[in-house]
């Protein structure tokens, strides 16, 4: 899952988190092929989404208000 800054002509990733579906988390062959570290497991999608929002709230600088306004709408 990711958050991007976008305009009419470009986009840029600002923050992202790896989402591992439950069936992948429980499949050692897939994990090995995709090199998913052992410490990374399945989490419901809303958990990394909230983590991302929390991290963006901590940011300071000119993009801070513009990025967060997309979540408030």
Are the beta carbons of 16 and 2 closer than 8 angstroms?
yes
pLDDT tens-digit readout, 15-55: 888 889 999 999 999 999 999 998 999 999 888 888 888 88
* Res 73: pLDDT: 46
Beta strands in the chain (DSSP E): 2-6, 11-16
pLDDT at 65: 57
* Top-confidence residue, 70 or 19: 19
Higher pLDDT, 6 or 72: 6
Q: Say whether pLDDT at 2 is over 60.
A: yes
**Cα–Cα distances in Å, from 31 out to 14, 25, 26, 36?**
26, 7, 8, 5
Query: How large is the angle between the packed helices 64-72 and 46-58, nearest 10 degrees?
Result: 150
Residue 70: per-residue pLDDT: 54
């Amino acid at each position: 899952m990711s958050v991007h800054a976008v305009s009419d002509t470009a986009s840029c990733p600002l923050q992202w988190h790896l989402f591992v579906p439950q069936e992948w988390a429980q499949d050692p062959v897939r994990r090995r092929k995709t090199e998913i570290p052992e410490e990374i497991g399945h989490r419901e999608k809303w958990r990394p989404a909230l983590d991302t929002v929390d991290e963006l709230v901590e940011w300071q600088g000119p993009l801070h208000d513009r990025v967060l306004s997309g979540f408030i709408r």
